[in-house]
Every structure is written in C-alpha cells, then in structure tokens.
Amino acid sequence: MKNSVRKTYVIGDIHGRLTQLKALVSSLDYDPQQDRIILLGDLIDRGEDSPGVVNYALELQAESPNFVCLRGNHEQMMLDLIEYGDLLWLVPENGGAITIAQYGCKYIEETSTLSLQIPSSHIEFFSSMLPYFEDDNAYYIHASLTVGKHPSECDEETLRWKRDPTFFRNYHGKPCFFGHTPTRYLPPMGVAKLNGIYIWGSAIGVDTGCGPEDPLTCVQVETMKVYQAYPGGKLESYQARLGELPSVANL
C-alpha cells in the first residue's frame, strides 16, 4: 500500500489525560491535511477527563482525513458492559468507575442498575475503532501480535489484550508499534532510558505508563523521534536508535 501522508505520529495509551494529550499534539509539527496521527487505543479510564479525550479525538478525526484510532481493551470493556452487562470494566484497578463518574452516569440503588449517560457519538466512535492498522512503514496494534502472523490473521483477543513475551523478545519482521504494556514492565534490554520507549527486534512499545509522573509519548515513525508530555507541562523529545530497524528511517 502506498503512503500518501508526509509524517506519521503514533501516540501510546492516553488513559484520560487530556491536558497531556493536547500539549503533546501542540508540540508536533503536524499538518492535519498532510500528516497522520495514530492513537493506539485506551483513550479512556484512570486520568482526569476521559470524555474530554474522546471529544478531542473526534476533533482530530474531523479535521484530518488521515486520522486513525485503534480500540484498546479499555474501550472494549466499556462496550462489553453496554452490550452484555459485563462488569469487568468496573473492577477498581481498571478505572471504569472513574470514567462513569466523569460522564455523569449514576448508580440507581433501588434497582442496582447503572444509568449510563455516555453520548451516542462516543459509543459509535468506540464501535468504529480499528483492531489494527498497517501502512508502508509498519503495523500498529494495541497489545500484541502472534509471531509469524500478519495482524489480520490474529484474533482480537491477542491484538487487544495479550502480553506475549515471545512477541516482546522475538518479533522480527515489519516494524510493529504497540501500547497496552507500560515499557517499565517490558524486558529491560529494550528500554534505553527512564520513561523511554521500548525497541527490541522489530517490536516498538510506546506506552510509557499513566501514573502521576509518567509522560504521554508519541513517536514520529519516519524518523523515530520521540516526543513526550509530562504532568505539569514539561515537554521533552529525544532521538531513538533503531538498531535492527534501518528500514523505518535513515538517521
């Protein structure tokens, strides 16, 4: 497939951090008509304004014909609650209860039910999110890939949920950008600096965590330049080294 965009920016798990997301996008040399932003999923939960993140993503989508957003496991958990009544999203560590409160949803004690107030435009957006994306440069997934398979051959459980050490350590092929697992929990040989992205073989991890001191991270695919927005407003950037990935950029 032929790339018609000038620059591709891939952004890791946002988790409701609207302030950091806006600061990060504003720091990029980004032209909506010529460039592409790819969100790797998990826009919602844990952060200060998940509904605001979704609204901002919809704005990015409206202004750019090139915009791409993948569905993460957190969007899937929300949809599973809405469609099937699955309560996994409401387990405290998943952060769904925080997002429900931000949307203004109410728990009705008399009937032990939730009154969901999530806008239909948001639900439609979650439902339309892709399981993966591919361009000339790379594959883009939320969680993991089965080594030896194209993303189209992988089940959505793998693409959206799995943490596969074989993928992290032994994937070689077309470069693959992924989120889901914070880089601090990935094999340390692939992380060159504190709060840095993960690069090992052809696997490139972009989720640098969502804690109170963690940056939200973006990589320009063609150059492997890394951009980060920290809580409190600090912006940083650095040049990643590709090692075994010379086909992505000429440094």
Q: What is the pLDDT of residues 104-152, one digit of tens each?
A: 987 665 655 677 889 999 999 999 999 999 999 999 999 999 999 999 9
Residue 19 CA to residue 199 CA, distance in Å, equals 27
**Mean pLDDT of all residues in 53-66:** 98
Residues 157-206 have pLDDT tens digits of 999 999 999 999 999 999 999 999 999 999 999 999 999 999 999 999 99
Give the span between the Cα atoms of 117 and 16, in whole angstroms. 17
Contact 176, 204 (CB under 8 A): yes
Q: Please give the CATH number for the structural domain made up of 8-239.
A: 3.60.21.10
Which is it for strands 113-115 and 106-108: parallel, antiparallel or unpaired? antiparallel
What pLDDT shows up at residue 116?
A: 80
- C-alpha span between 67 and 180 (Å, rounded): 20
Question: According to the model, what pLDDT value does residue 244 have?
Answer: 45
What pTM was estimated for this model as a whole?
0.93
Closest CA to 199 of 171, 230, 227, 233: 171
pLDDT-based confidence at residue 90 (cuts at 50, 70, 90): confident
Stretch 217-241: mean pLDDT: 97
Q: What is the largest CA-CA distance in the chain?
A: 63
Confidence of residue 87 (pLDDT cuts 50, 70, 90): confident
Looking at residue 1, its pLDDT comes to: 46
Q: What is the pLDDT of residue 163?
A: 98
Confidence check: pLDDT of 11 > 90? yes
The 8 Å CB, 24+ separation contacts for 82-85 are: 82/116, 82/118, 82/123
pLDDT score of 85: 86
The helix (run of H) or strand (run of E) holding residue 10 is strand 8-11
Look over the chain and give the mean of its residue pLDDT values, rounded to a whole number.
Answer: 92
Q: Where are the beta strands (DSSP E) in 40-158?
A: 68-69, 106-108, 113-115, 132-134, 139-141
Strand, helix or coil for residue 69: strand
Percent of the chain with pLDDT over 90: 85
The pLDDT assigned to 115 comes to: 73
At 98, the pLDDT band (50, 70, 90 cuts) reads very high
- d(CA 137, CA 174) in angstroms, rounded, equals 8
pLDDT value at position 20? Answer: 98
Banded pLDDT at 247 (limits 50, 70, 90): very low
Percent with pLDDT over 70 in the chain: 92
